[in-house]
Chains A and B, each alone.
Chain A
Amino acid sequence: QITLKESGPTLVKPTQTLTLTCTFSGFSLSTSGVGVGWIRQPPGKALEWLALIYWDDDKRYSPSLKSRLTITKDTSKNQVVLTMTNMDPVDTATYYCAHYSGYTPNFDYWGQGTLVTVSS
């Protein structure tokens, strides 16, 4: 079965760079049509899509955050890494990674999420 799990720091200081890793199993990121996305959710607020990487290394970013985001993949390790620069308290949120099915374009499997707090 498909599983995903996010890992990374729980606390970062303002202006620092956040690096999150999504480790997955049950699928290959070299399979045509497959992708992994990152979505975040500030406490008590709505979901916000951040970035997505496809099996062919095509990368897409949220227009409002594009300058701060980088998404990469390591197919051999079954990992996807998201970096976000210049962190601010408003970036405090639970960050989720999710399996993306390009053929029914939705996020059909989600990780449990990891809460990242930005505070000095």
Chain B
Amino acid sequence: QSVLTQPPSVSGAPGQRVTISCTGSSSNIGAGYDVHWYQQLPGTAPKLLIYGNSNRPSGVPDRFSGSKSGTSASLAISGLQAEDEADYYCQSYDSSLSGSWVFGGGTKLTVL
């Protein structure tokens, strides 16, 4: 059971907009710790997609955006493309139990 909760799957047609939620608690997201998002294409290592809740590293298209409110965060992908089909993970820091970095359970995005 992951500390951060994500929906197992989401789907959308090309061109559509989808959102992926990441729900935490008062010891992680709700405590003010940043949320980061990673994209994992099939058979590859995760890649940083969004950092500090809403910032995109150089080279990440602006179709990807992130937000955070309270104990939750969201990743939005607009103008869906076939190449966006991947697993997406949120990550934050949790201050309980001496502190640890925590990931969500991952969300599989299917482009229909």
Q: Are A and B bound to each other?
A: yes
| Most chain A CB inside 10 Å of its own CB: which residue of B33, B51, B98, B100 | B100
Interface 1/0 per residue, B85-107 and A, CB below 8 Å: 00001010100011111111110
Q: Which of B2, B45, B106 contacts A96 (CB 8 A)?
A: B45
> Is A60 located at the chain interface by the 8 A CB criterion?
yes
Flag if B46 contacts A110 (CB, 8 Å): yes
Q: Give the dominant DSSP class at A's interface.
A: strand
> Is A63 located at the chain interface by the 8 A CB criterion?
yes
Q: Which of A47, A49, A106 contacts B106 (CB 8 A)?
A: A47
- What distance in Å separates the Cβ of B97 from its nearest Cβ neighbour in chain A? 4
Flag if A46 contacts B106 (CB, 8 Å): yes
Residues in A whose Cβ lies below 8 Å from that of B46:
39, 47, 96, 107, 110
Flag if B104 contacts A112 (CB, 8 Å): no
Residues in A whose Cβ lies below 8 Å from that of B36:
105-107
Please report the total number of B residues contacting A with Cβ < 8 Å.
27
Interface 1/0 per residue, A29-64 and B, CB below 8 Å: 000000001010000001111001000000010110
Contact-residue bracket for chain A: 20 to 34
Interface 1/0 per residue, A97-119 and B, CB below 8 Å: 00000001111111111000000
Flag if B106 contacts A112 (CB, 8 Å): no
Q: How distant is the Cα of A37 from the Cα of B102 in the complex, in angstroms?
A: 12
Residues in A whose Cβ lies below 8 Å from that of B55:
104
Residues in B whose Cβ lies below 8 Å from that of A48:
103
Q: Which of A52, A108, A110 contacts B101 (CB 8 A)?
A: A52
Q: Which residue of A lies closest to B34 (CB)?
A: A105
Q: How distant is the Cα of A60 from the Cα of B112 in the complex, in angstroms?
A: 41
Given A49-B100, A49-B103, A63-B97, decide whether A104 and B2 contact each other with a Cβ distance below 8 A: no
- What distance in Å separates the Cβ of A63 from its nearest Cβ neighbour in chain B? 4
Residues in B whose Cβ lies below 8 Å from that of A96:
45-46
Q: Which of A46, A111, A113 contacts B105 (CB 8 A)?
A: A46
Q: Which residue of B lies closest to A106 (CB)?
A: B36
Q: Which residue of B lies closest to A112 (CB)?
A: B45
Q: How distant is the Cα of A82 from the Cα of B55 in the complex, in angstroms?
A: 31
